[in-house]
Amino acid sequence: MTIFTVGIIGAGTMGNGIAQACAVSGINVVMVDISDAAVQKGIATVAGSLDRLIKKEKISEADKAAALARIKGSTNYDDLKATQIVIEAATENFDLKVKILKQVDALLAPEVLLASNTSSISITKLAAVTSRADRFIGMHFFNPVPMMALVEIIRGLQTSDDTHAAVKTLSERLGKSPITVKNAPGFVVNRILVPMINEAFFVLAEGSATAEDIDAGMKLGCNQPIGPLALADMIGLDVCLAVMDVYLDEFGDSKYRPCPLLKEMVAAGRLGRKTGQGVYKY
């Protein structure tokens, strides 16, 4: 299958990032969200990101104009009928994703591929609620999408070889370096990363070191570009907690128990950069 147009459900951080990656690579995009305000905010975010690339002399004004012209914003799922693949990039909530996938599945032609950008939810379970389980796959992009090279391609139990091949080719067209992962909670990267973040919260809660020293230790001692606590603030503490809850529920192993301090900070609304305060103040 040759993919000319990609549908994206969700114009938030991940959705508009995927839209930008596609548009810059010469692929047309239909980006759908529940309100025109959300859609326009997503397009404006792409425009701002492209402006920063112009300042860095990585693209030209003409490149920006061409990329934006490839993105069609919409609040109507019917506009997704013109696509060859639809990527769901909604909030990390199983019931919400099921509702969206069922709705769009009923509209699309049988040959259209469906993908989810989920970071923790079972691809096999999501595929099972659609009529195209063999044409369903996970495409886990990383934030910020335009800058991060990795895409985790997650095969559900039902995913066909043809679907995997088409999505791998698409990922490479976007300039990404995909890895293929079997379906399991957290896949590969988050399965390793989020428990490490959770452990950093335990170290902080025990008073073993300050947040600054914990982050400095991991940056200087493990050559990480950003410390785990600062990274948690960037991801969103609520997202980190939700992922740990999924691991605990799915694996039933106490090593995935969320740190009480992490739970307490989420309860207080200190979710990180998006709220102006998490481990650090912004």
- The catalytic residue positions are 119, 140, 152, 190
Q: Which residues of 200-227 are buried (b: 16+ CB within 10 A; e: fewer)?
A: bbebbeeeeeebeebbebbeeeeeeeeb
Pairing of strands 136-141, 150-155: antiparallel
Strand partners, 114: 86, 136
> In this structure, are residues 139 and 164 in contact, taking their beta carbons and an 8 Å threshold?
no
∠ CA 98-104-105, nearest 5°, is 80
Dihedrals φ, ψ of 276, to 5°? 90, -10
Checking 227-232 for CB contacts under 8 A at 24+ apart, the result is: 227/200, 228/196, 228/197, 228/199, 228/200, 229/197, 229/200, 229/201, 229/204, 229/279, 229/280, 230/279, 230/280, 231/197, 232/197, 232/200, 232/201, 232/262, 232/272, 232/278, 232/279
